[in-house]
Amino acid sequence: MKSSNKSEGFLKNYIKIVLKPDETIKKINEQKHDLLESLIIVMLSAFILLLGIFIVGGTIYNVFYEQYSTFILEQLTSGTLFGFSMSRYDFVFVFLSAFIFIIKSWLFFSIMFYLFMRIFGETENIKDTMIRFSWTIYPYAWIIFIFSMISLLFKLILPFVFHYIFFIGLGVIFIVFIPITLQRFYDNSERESVSSYMVYGSYYLTLFVIILLWTYNHYNITQMVFF
């Protein structure tokens, strides 16, 4: 009974953190969390996100596949390093490797953010950072899932540009909503106040590092970096 209540609360928090962040973050901060729970959040989000992308398919699937599979960190930490090549039509393999890629992205995001916070002189705990990031970024997966379903409609009306709408939406979530949610976590935590200058700075520097690595072998993206 207790465990079912706990899982209900967990799912409620997972959905409500996007809709009513302040209230939910207060609740989350009151409870004790471990890394296993964070891993479950990330895995659940990865599943929801990929489900949306696989259902929509078309350009969104192709762009997502091309971008993540050729990302330098993915190539260095996957079978590609040992010469394993995967076709985009091996759907099961693509799903599994993208699933693991999302988990790796959680680790990378947390470690980079942690390092920048330490460089700026803030006392930060890596475990807390990982938990905070799992609650900050990954619950947006269900919003992205809804977004992919809307894209499914756009696919019929605007078949040549519907993927732009999807990826611009994804970008707006990462640039606007996630840093504000992250700041809410720091504002509502019991620990001594952390300067929002450092939090936003570290977050955007993490995004900067990701863009830097991303453009390494993506000529089509470097054209965008041109401006």
Partner 1 sequence: MNARGKFRSFQEVFTNPDKIIDYSKENWSFIRFTLIIIIAGALFGYNFFWTTFILVITPPMIIWALGMLFLGILILDIFIYLYIFILWLSFTILLKIMSKNESPEKKSEKIDESLELIKKENLFSWIKVFSYCFLIPFLIYNFFEFILTVFFLSLNMPYVAVYIKDYGKFLLYAWILSLTLYSTHNIDKTQKYKVNAIILISFLITYGIVFILTFYGVAAITNLI
Provide the binding-site residues for partner 1, judged by CB under 8 A.
22, 172, 175-177, 179-180, 183-184, 187, 195-197, 200-201, 204-205, 207-208, 211-212, 215, 222, 225-227
> Please, which residue, 29 or 183, has the CB nearer to partner 1?
183
End-to-end, the C-alpha distance of the chain in Å comes to 56
- Taking the complex as a whole, the smallest distance from the CB of residue 175 to partner 1 amounts, in Å, to 6
> Please, which residue, 14 or 116, has the CB nearer to partner 1?
116
- Taking the complex as a whole, the smallest distance from the CB of residue 140 to partner 1 amounts, in Å, to 15
**Lookup: tokens for 128:** 């807390």
Question: What is the residue type of 207?
Answer: L
> Please, which residue, 25 or 141, has the CB nearer to partner 1?
25
> Please, which residue, 11 or 172, has the CB nearer to partner 1?
172
Pairwise CA distance, residues 164 & 151, whole Å: 10
> DSSP per residue over 22-55, as a string?
HHHHHHHHHS---HHHHHHHHHHHHHHHHHHHHH
> Please, which residue, 61 or 185, has the CB nearer to partner 1?
185
**Lookup: tokens for 103:** 């988990």
Residue matched to tokens 């729970």? 37
- Taking the complex as a whole, the smallest distance from the CB of residue 162 to partner 1 amounts, in Å, to 18
- Taking the complex as a whole, the smallest distance from the CB of residue 111 to partner 1 amounts, in Å, to 18
- Taking the complex as a whole, the smallest distance from the CB of residue 183 to partner 1 amounts, in Å, to 7
Pairwise CA distance, residues 209 & 36, whole Å: 27
**C-alpha pair distances (Å), 60 with each of 45, 85, 103:** 18, 21, 20
**Lookup: tokens for 63:** 């762009």
- Taking the complex as a whole, the smallest distance from the CB of residue 21 to partner 1 amounts, in Å, to 8
> Please, which residue, 91 or 204, has the CB nearer to partner 1?
204
Pairwise CA distance, residues 7 & 13, whole Å: 10
